[in-house]
Structure 1
Amino acid sequence: MGNKYDTTLKNMFSDLADDILSYFLGIQHVKMEELSIEFPRVETRESDMVFKCTTSGGNVIAVHIEFQSDNDNKMLYRMLRYATEIMEKYNLMPYQVVIYIGKSSLNMVNKIDFDFGKENFLSYGYKIIDVGEIKFSEIIQTNYYELFALLPLMDKKKRQEEKEQYLKKCVETIKNIPLDMERKREIAARARILAELVYKKDVVDRMFAEVMKMLRLEDSETYRKLIKEGERNKSIEIAKKLLKEGMDIDKIAQITELPKEEIKKLLN
């Protein structure tokens, strides 16, 4: 996904899965189980979600959701590899979607067509949803409250026009969700983290200051995990830089507080 919380974003988004399937994809489904995503020939990405589902029509499919925070010109090929791995490992047809939550305008392609004749061709594609194109007013009129965590990333035009006031409106909306304190806290925690993808940290800190106190966001398991992971990823980046400079592994371990074995893996 390409941001400092990569390795725990799967956990962060797992609670959104049902709302994404129903609202974003329009799939009437019964979610049977979450499938393993340890694909041996594909780069491991913790933000991947793959579910075995039964549709309203009785078909059993694999729904693969990928969150992406930046434009990746190799996304098409990676998704194709995922598709073949899903078919080979589970013998299920994959319904794939990339949910783009980046700040820059979406410019990724999502289909490929090669035709060398009647018996030699390839046609492949998947769905891309640009969260920035979803209207604030549309979401808040629904009861898909878990998706309110994505509000800071939505309505790019309004966000650019209203700037900080848009984020303030998102915070107020989340604060007033008719849910119990624990669920509201988790939604606010996700929104707080995601807001940093499109707003400067000092702006996010200021806009969320009141709701952090009111909802005790520091008690959120999601928030604690993501902050801890952000700190760990920062240490990994420092370790990579020091390795390039030729520093001894023992010394890097002292500076970053990372296990020596983990630092050694960065050399591969």
Structure 2
Amino acid sequence: MPEEINHPVQGSKYDKIFRENMHNTLPGIIKHVLHLNVNTVEELADDVQFTKERKTDLLKKVRDNKGNRYVLHVEYQTDNYPEMAFRMAEYSIMLQRKHKLPVKQFVIYIGPAKANMATSITTKDFRFRYNLTELSAVNYKLFLKSDLVEEKMLAILSNLASESTESVLAQVVQEIETHTSTLEQGRYFRQLRILLQLRNLNKKAIKDMALVGKIFKEEKDILYRRGEIKGEIKGEIKGEIKGIEKGRYEEAMEIALELKKEGLATEFIAKITKLSIEEIQAL
């Protein structure tokens, strides 16, 4: 059964991808999606205090080509949330109060349907509006031209014009294979599988079996077994990879064998699998 795009857990996966890749995709998003002329970008804390703390998807202090300074606030949205205008208004007021700067807000819609959210609030004593844009309106070639793999992957969610989805997907896969290491590819293919769900694509919908084999081969990759090991790989394995649940001895041995084939150090394998060095050496 396909996972629901608007389910909170599934939605958080999309948020996680865009947060992970934000540093590299930001220049392209600002230029091609938001159509802003920005010269400098400064980091801002992305948490905003309401009755409870909420994190924004993107929050930066920027200066444009005319010297104007403002807070750039961006939210990614996978569904047509009926009260988005009120949510953005809440953010706007709190951000203006906190940073004492004008706030320019965008919602980038990445869902499969057309965006139809209200973008303004107009009452007798209050007026508010934010900018709503769709990633699917941007020509995919603009993203593929990027030097960054994270930005290239956005081509899948953009306007494919007369190109078939599989054709563009094949180009993205080729870029991943050409410009990243074997370890990095695992991470990017994992992200790509999740992004494909935003276009209602799974392995059964892709006819090119060679393409399916490349994209979905990581489903059995030990490093990405859902719910068992969490980690991020980029150039090298970074951070802490959480071990296997207690009692999963056979699974731990399988993982150790796969990691040993990849040439990883015995001590490192022992650390993440909780197996002894002797057990790993015997494999």
Shorter-chain TM-score bucket reads 0.5 to 0.7
Gaps of 5+ in 2: 225-230, 242-283
Decide which of 9, 15, 20 is 1:12's aligned counterpart.
20
Query: Partners of 1:140 and 1:183 in 2: how far apart?
Result: 22
Does 1:35 find its partner at 2:51?
no
For 1:67-106, list aligned pairs within 5 A. Answer: 67-106=76-115
In 1, are the aligned partners of 2:143 and 2:153 still within 8 Å (CA)?
Answer: no
Which residue of 2 is the match for residue 249 of structure 1?
A: none
Shift of residue 79 of structure 1? 0.6
In 1, are the aligned partners of 2:183 and 2:233 still within 8 Å (CA)?
Answer: no
Which residue of 1 is the match for residue 200 of structure 2?
A: 199
Q: Secondary structure of 2:49's partner?
A: coil
Which residue of 1 is the match for residue 140 of structure 2?
A: 136
TM-score normalized by structure 2? 0.61
Query: Partners of 1:143 and 1:90 in 2: how far apart?
Result: 33
**Equivalent position amino acid for 1:146 in 2:** E
In 1, are the aligned partners of 2:32 and 2:138 still within 8 Å (CA)?
Answer: no
For 1:106-121, list aligned pairs within 5 A. Answer: 106-114=115-123, 116=124, 120=125
Query: Partners of 1:12 and 1:58 in 2: how far apart?
Result: 29
Describe the superposition over 1:88-117 as per-residue Cα deviations: whole angstroms up to 9, x where unpaired: 122221111111110011111222333x4x
Q: Secondary structure of 1:103's partner?
A: coil
Query: Partners of 2:191 and 2:72 in 1: how far apart?
Result: 23
Q: Secondary structure of 1:192's partner?
A: helix
**Equivalent position amino acid for 2:138 in 1:** I
Structure 2 vs 1, CA of residues 104 and 196 (structure 1 numbering), >3 Å: closer, same or farther?
A: same
Structure having greater relative contact order (Cα 8 Å, sep ≥ 6)? 1
Which residue of 1 is the match for residue 276 of structure 2?
A: none
**Equivalent position amino acid for 1:168 in 2:** A
Structure 2 vs 1, CA of residues 49 and 213 (structure 1 numbering), >3 Å: closer, same or farther?
A: same
Structure 2 vs 1, CA of residues 213 and 40 (structure 1 numbering), >3 Å: closer, same or farther?
A: same
Q: Secondary structure of 2:31's partner?
A: helix
Query: Partners of 2:156 and 2:182 in 1: how far apart?
Result: 20
TM-score normalized by structure 1? 0.64
For 1:1-268, list aligned pairs within 5 A. Answer: 2-3=6-7, 4-6=10-12, 8-9=16-17, 11-15=19-23, 16-25=25-34, 26-41=36-51, 44-45=54-55, 48-114=57-123, 116=124, 120=125, 122-143=126-147, 145-155=149-159, 158=162, 162-176=164-178, 179-181=179-181, 185=185, 187-203=188-204, 207-210=211-214, 218=223, 221=232
Aligned residues: 215
**Equivalent position amino acid for 1:52 in 2:** K
Q: What is the RMSD of the two structures over their aligned residues, measured on CA atoms?
A: 3.7
Shift of residue 212 of structure 1? 6.3
Gaps of 5+ in 1: 229-268
Which residue of 1 is the match for residue 279 of structure 2?
A: none
Which residue of 2 is the match for residue 254 of structure 1?
A: none
**Equivalent position amino acid for 1:151 in 2:** A
Q: Which has the greater radius of gyration?
A: 2
Structure 2 vs 1, CA of residues 148 and 218 (structure 1 numbering), >3 Å: closer, same or farther?
A: farther
Structure 2 vs 1, CA of residues 5 and 132 (structure 1 numbering), >3 Å: closer, same or farther?
A: same
Structure 2 vs 1, CA of residues 104 and 209 (structure 1 numbering), >3 Å: closer, same or farther?
A: same
Describe the superposition over 1:30-72 as per-residue Cα deviations: whole angstroms up to 9, x where unpaired: 1221323232247735x62111223333332111110001111
Structure 2 vs 1, CA of residues 100 and 163 (structure 1 numbering), >3 Å: closer, same or farther?
A: same
Structure 2 vs 1, CA of residues 5 and 211 (structure 1 numbering), >3 Å: closer, same or farther?
A: same
Query: Partners of 1:191 and 1:91 in 2: how far apart?
Result: 39
Structure 2 vs 1, CA of residues 96 and 155 (structure 1 numbering), >3 Å: closer, same or farther?
A: same
